[in-house]
């Protein structure tokens, strides 16, 4: 059985281009793998709290010393981490906002990138504790940023997922969506072909 974790972060919910791309991929993937399980999170519809001092302190406080409020905070993070641990395939609907990932997705990362849980510190630097996972990123962008210094999103995702031990990442880009109807149509056509090829 294949466990799939699907996360969208568009401010337009299911109407966002990245959400629609990721959903089409999920449907094609599940048609091929009829024994799969799916966990879905829409970070716009159900956002996580942004990291603050209270939450950070809860994460780093030893379990036996946590207050009831801290236990509740950590329990929310533990659910997310266990979803990630159990996943064989992770599908991310990822729009580009102001040259970076959506703030809702950054909040998600701040709940799962926890020392001792998804990575650990060693004498040789951080070591990821997650492995054997495939990630598909469906990146929708109004402009064209790929392979330019303005694309901070791609390296960030590679680095932060890599911190946790996840290195098998495939990006499917739809760029130039706000640069005229012809360019947008071609970008979506190319992305859809790559999407379907990834399932085949």
User: What are the structural domains, with CATH classification, of the chain?
Assistant: 3-199 (3.40.50.360)
Q: What is the mean pLDDT of residues 107-124?
A: 97
pLDDT in tens, 2-13: 999 999 999 999
- Mean pLDDT (the chain) is 96
What is the value of pTM for the model shown?
A: 0.95
pLDDT of residue 34: 78
DSSP H or E run through 40: strand 37-42
Residue 156, token pair as written in the block: 């960030």
Q: What is the mean pLDDT of residues 33-57?
A: 95
45 pLDDT exceeds 90? yes
Left (φ > 0), alpha (ψ -120 to 50) or beta: where does 165 sit?
A: left
Range from 31-35, 90-94, 135-139 carrying the lowest mean pLDDT: 31-35
Pair 84, 132: CB distance under 8 Å: no
- 19 marked ligand binding residue: no
Q: What is the mean pLDDT of residues 62-73?
A: 97
Q: What is the mean pLDDT of residues 127-131?
A: 96
- Distance separating alpha carbons of residues 42 and 105, to the nearest angstrom: 10
Pair 87, 3: CB distance under 8 Å: yes
Q: Which residues contact 150 (CB under 8 A, 6 or more apart)?
A: 99
> In Å, how far are 25, 26, 73, 113, 189 from 136, measured between CA atoms?
9, 10, 29, 19, 18
200 pLDDT exceeds 90? no
């Amino acid at each position: 059985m294949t466990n799939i974790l699907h996360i969208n972060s568009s401010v337009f919910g299911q109407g966002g281009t990245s959400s629609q791309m990721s959903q089409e991929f999920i449907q094609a993937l599940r048609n091929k793998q009829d024994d799969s399980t799916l966990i879905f999170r829409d970070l716009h519809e159900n956002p996580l709290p942004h990291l603050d001092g209270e939450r950070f302190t809860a994460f780093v406080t030893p379990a036996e010393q946590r207050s009831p409020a801290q236990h509740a905070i950590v329990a929310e993070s533990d659910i997310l981490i266990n979803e990630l641990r159990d996943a064989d395939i992770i599908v991310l609907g990822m729009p580009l906002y102001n040259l970076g990932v959506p703030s809702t997705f950054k909040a998600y990362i701040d709940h799962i990138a926890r020392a001792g849980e998804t990575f650990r510190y060693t004498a040789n630097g951080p070591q990821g504790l997650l492995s054997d996972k495939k990630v598909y990123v469906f990146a929708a962008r109004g402009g064209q940023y790929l392979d330019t210094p303005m694309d901070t999103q791609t390296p960030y995702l590679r680095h932060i997922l890599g911190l946790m031990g996840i290195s098998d990442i495939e990006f499917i880009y739809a760029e130039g969506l706000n640069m005229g109807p012809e360019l947008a149509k071609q970008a979506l056509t190319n992305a859809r072909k790559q999407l379907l090829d990834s399932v085949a």
